[in-house]
Chains A and B, each alone.
Chain A
Amino acid sequence: MKLKKLSENIYEIPKEGKMNVLGRVYASEKILDAIKQDKTLEQVKNVACLPGILNASIALADAHQGYGFSIGGVAAFDMGKGVISPGGVGYDINCSVRLLRTNLSKKDILENKKKVVEALYRKIPSGVGRGSKFQLTRQELNKVLERGAKYIVEKGYGMEEDYLHMEEEGCLKGADASKVSERAIKRGIGQLGTLGAGNHFLEVQYVDEIFDMKIAKAFGLKKDQVTIMIHCGSRVLGHQVASDYIKKMEEKYGFKDLPDRELINAPIKSQLGKDYYSAMAAAVNFAFANKQLITHWIREEMEILFPKIKIDVVYDVCHNIAKFEKHFVEGEMKEICVHRKGATRSFGPGRTEVPKAYRDVGQPVLIPGSMGTASYVLVGTKKAEELTWGSTVHGAGRVSSRSKALKTLRGEEVKKRLSEKGIEIKAGSWKSLAEEAPEVYKDIDEVVRVVDELGISKKVARLKPLAVMKG
């Protein structure tokens, strides 16, 4: 694979063959070596072949091989000539991260870590066999799909400030429940308010270091403060929406000319393209509502343990999504369709999409580390709007496969090592612990250093885990 170094941390895959645009990789040399181990760069090239793609097919510093599109990928499409692709969003639609801040300090919780994680584990179901205790009627589910977190708050599970501090204010417009299949509804209806398994988790953390005092203050963060991070998505409802529309698009358009079957897509303006967007938006709203319910239960449970606790939403960012946004395209402000698959929006100051409370400084960017390592809060920048369609990384990104992890690591050892670092952990199984061990991810500190250096998001604070709950 030809790869040209343009400047520090920026590499280019030259245009060749059927590519409509070039490929661009934002990574350090060290990270690039890891990225080269799998098919990530080939996938970046394949995405560059799609119709109507603008400027470049982008891979960020946390990129790794996905299906069709790589993870850690960003691609924007012209509204007229361009396409929308379920593979460019991912199966876990709106897999996302929410950060809560509390008025507790690290010392308040050190003695109670075990109690906290066990209480949260009891309260918040992780999935199969432990389905949600929140029962919905079909009509209520339709409202969840069309109105997201806002509807859940109106039902009494939270407050207005919660959804005002979320991307899209917790409700992506254009959602239409009637575009979600019966099959997706049947699979998903019992899962609202569940965490799920895999890389999803809930973590109690503390602010370990502040890099930018002024912006940390705007985000309501200070040293040693206890925070809680929730990482989950639209559960099986989103997965089924992706599968359904992949099949529909295959039926309608065929996949013979595609380099990879998972790159199936539909023109943005076609009926099928519009239907997919409406169904995807419904799944996005399910995910927002899901985390709102979990937030409510965290509040209930923590109030029992700490009667004076106050918990606020800092922000909630989407990782797997396609959105219509305005960006400069060849000097002209235009609406385009931005796909972020394993990538976070990173809008700088002034954008009206950023909540009022943060509009002067830029949006919070939340980057979870792997289990047991630090997570980061960054701030969105104008530079990201220039370089990456207002996007930055979403996490550490994997380097090792799960099957390899299971061969070389044992869950018991992982737990032991975490507890030596003072981290309390509760997981559904030993296997899920080994699969998510820090060793299978890239070094989060290096990933964050690169995006900070590039300026596509700037470091604000580092969070360290105290207690982790996994499905």
Chain B
Amino acid sequence: MKKFKFLEHTADVKFQAFGKSLEEAFGNSAIALKQIMTKGIEKDVKGKISKKIKITGDDLEGLLYNFLEEFLYLLDAENFLLSEIDCIKIKNNKLEAELSGDKARNYKFTNDVKAVTYNEMFVKHAKGKWIVQVVLDV
């Protein structure tokens, strides 16, 4: 199964991420976001620092929005750039994840992503797999 794919959108970046489980689809959406944020250096990011995050949302879309927004926050406020998602659990619209990553200042890139949006966002289960769709404001 493909982890994620990018779709056409006039001004912004639209993608879908997939997974056998909801957790896998969420995890892949974070990796898709990282690829847009780092523009091609995403594979170079080392997993030197570990971090735990806890996210809540009113529904699955809200949870996805808050989950992805956390990576923008971590980058700007803590200079943390994601490498991998080591572990992710979702239950009752609560998410806990263990991340590894590195200080962003160790890499040369410019983040274009301004915000996660609710535009055309969905989280759904179809034909035995989970699909999430996100439009990023860039």
Name A's B-contacting residues (CB within 8 A).
37-38, 64-68, 71, 90-92, 126-130, 183, 186-188, 190-191, 197-198, 236, 239-240, 242-243, 246-247, 250-251, 260-262, 398-404, 428-429, 431-432, 435, 471
Q: When A and B form their complex, what is the total count of cross-chain residue pairs whose Cβ atoms lie within 8 Å?
A: 117
CB <8 Å contact, A198 and B114: yes
Expressed in whole angstroms, the Cα–Cα distance for A128 and B110 within the complex equals 5
CB <8 Å contact, B6 and A403: yes
| Nearest residue, chain B, Cβ from A187 | B76
Assuming the contacts A401-B9, A402-B13, A432-B110, asked whether A183 and B39 have C-beta atoms less than 8 A apart, the reply is: no
| Nearest residue, chain B, Cβ from A64 | B10
A-B contact pairs, 15 of them (CB 8 A): A38-B10, A66-B11, A91-B115, A91-B137, A183-B77, A187-B72, A187-B73, A236-B76, A239-B72, A239-B114, A240-B73, A240-B115, A242-B115, A261-B121, A399-B10
Expressed in whole angstroms, the Cα–Cα distance for A126 and B39 within the complex equals 15
Partner of B109, one of A90, A92, A191, A429: A429
CB <8 Å contact, B119 and A262: yes
Assuming the contacts A67-B119, A126-B110, A127-B111, asked whether A251 and B58 have C-beta atoms less than 8 A apart, the reply is: yes
Tell me whether B108 is interfacial, beta carbon within 8 Å.
yes
Expressed in whole angstroms, the Cα–Cα distance for A78 and B40 within the complex equals 47
Tell me whether B116 is interfacial, beta carbon within 8 Å.
yes
Assuming the contacts A260-B119, A403-B9, asked whether A183 and B114 have C-beta atoms less than 8 A apart, the reply is: no
Given contacts A67-B118, A128-B76, A243-B69, 16 further A-B contacts (CB under 8 A): A38-B10, A92-B114, A126-B110, A127-B111, A129-B104, A129-B105, A186-B77, A197-B111, A239-B114, A243-B115, A398-B10, A400-B10, A403-B8, A429-B39, A432-B39, A435-B112
Task: Write out the residue numbers on chain A whose beta carbons fall within 8 Å of the beta carbon of B107.
Answer: 129
Expressed in whole angstroms, the Cα–Cα distance for A175 and B122 within the complex equals 35
CB <8 Å contact, A65 and B112: no
Assuming the contacts A129-B105, A239-B137, A260-B119, asked whether A64 and B114 have C-beta atoms less than 8 A apart, the reply is: no
Expressed in whole angstroms, the Cα–Cα distance for A38 and B107 within the complex equals 36
Tell me whether B75 is interfacial, beta carbon within 8 Å.
yes
Tell me whether B93 is interfacial, beta carbon within 8 Å.
no
Distance between B10 CB and nearest chain A CB, rounded to angstroms: 5
Task: Write out the residue numbers on chain B whose beta carbons fall within 8 Å of the beta carbon of A236.
Answer: 72, 76, 114
Partner of B9, one of A65, A90, A186: A65
CB <8 Å contact, B110 and A65: no
Tell me whether B138 is interfacial, beta carbon within 8 Å.
yes
Task: Write out the residue numbers on chain A whose beta carbons fall within 8 Å of the beta carbon of B135.
Answer: 67
Closest 4 CB pairs of A and B: A67-B119, A187-B76, A261-B118, A186-B77
Task: Write out the residue numbers on chain B whose beta carbons fall within 8 Å of the beta carbon of A247.
Answer: 62
Distance between A290 CB and nearest chain B CB, rounded to angstroms: 14
Total interface residues on B, using CB and 8 Å?
37
Most-contacted residue by chain B among A128, A246, A251, A432 (CB, 10 A)? A128
Distance between A111 CB and nearest chain B CB, rounded to angstroms: 29
Most-contacted residue by chain A among B9, B10, B77 (CB, 10 A)? B10
Task: Write out the residue numbers on chain A whose beta carbons fall within 8 Å of the beta carbon of B115.
Answer: 91, 239-240, 242-243
CB <8 Å contact, B110 and A398: no
Tell me whether B86 is interfacial, beta carbon within 8 Å.
no
Assuming the contacts A67-B119, A187-B77, asked whether A402 and B110 have C-beta atoms less than 8 A apart, the reply is: no
Task: Write out the residue numbers on chain B whose beta carbons fall within 8 Å of the beta carbon of A190.
Answer: 76
Assuming the contacts A129-B105, A401-B8, asked whether A246 and B111 have C-beta atoms less than 8 A apart, the reply is: no
Tell me whether B98 is interfacial, beta carbon within 8 Å.
no
Distance between B54 CB and nearest chain A CB, rounded to angstroms: 15
Task: Write out the residue numbers on chain A whose beta carbons fall within 8 Å of the beta carbon of B61.
Answer: 261
Name B's A-contacting residues (CB within 8 A).
6-13, 39-40, 58, 61-62, 69, 72-73, 75-77, 104-105, 107-112, 114-119, 121, 135, 137-138
| Nearest residue, chain A, Cβ from B36 | A402
CB <8 Å contact, B12 and A67: yes
Most-contacted residue by chain A among B58, B104, B105, B109 (CB, 10 A)? B109
Expressed in whole angstroms, the Cα–Cα distance for A216 and B37 within the complex equals 41
| Nearest residue, chain A, Cβ from B69 | A243
CB <8 Å contact, B104 and A128: yes
CB <8 Å contact, B114 and A91: yes
Expressed in whole angstroms, the Cα–Cα distance for A127 and B116 within the complex equals 18
CB <8 Å contact, B111 and A128: yes
Task: Write out the residue numbers on chain B whose beta carbons fall within 8 Å of the beta carbon of A435.
Answer: 112
Partner of B13, one of A126, A240, A246, A403: A403
Partner of B10, one of A198, A262, A401, A432: A401
CB <8 Å contact, A65 and B117: no
Distance between B24 CB and nearest chain A CB, rounded to angstroms: 23
Expressed in whole angstroms, the Cα–Cα distance for A72 and B8 within the complex equals 20
Expressed in whole angstroms, the Cα–Cα distance for A471 and B105 within the complex equals 16
Partner of A64, one of B11, B109, B137: B11
Expressed in whole angstroms, the Cα–Cα distance for A435 and B10 within the complex equals 11
| Nearest residue, chain B, Cβ from A251 | B58
Expressed in whole angstroms, the Cα–Cα distance for A197 and B112 within the complex equals 5
Task: Write out the residue numbers on chain A whose beta carbons fall within 8 Å of the beta carbon of B10.
Answer: 37-38, 64-65, 398-401
CB <8 Å contact, A398 and B114: no
CB <8 Å contact, B76 and A191: yes
| Nearest residue, chain B, Cβ from A190 | B76
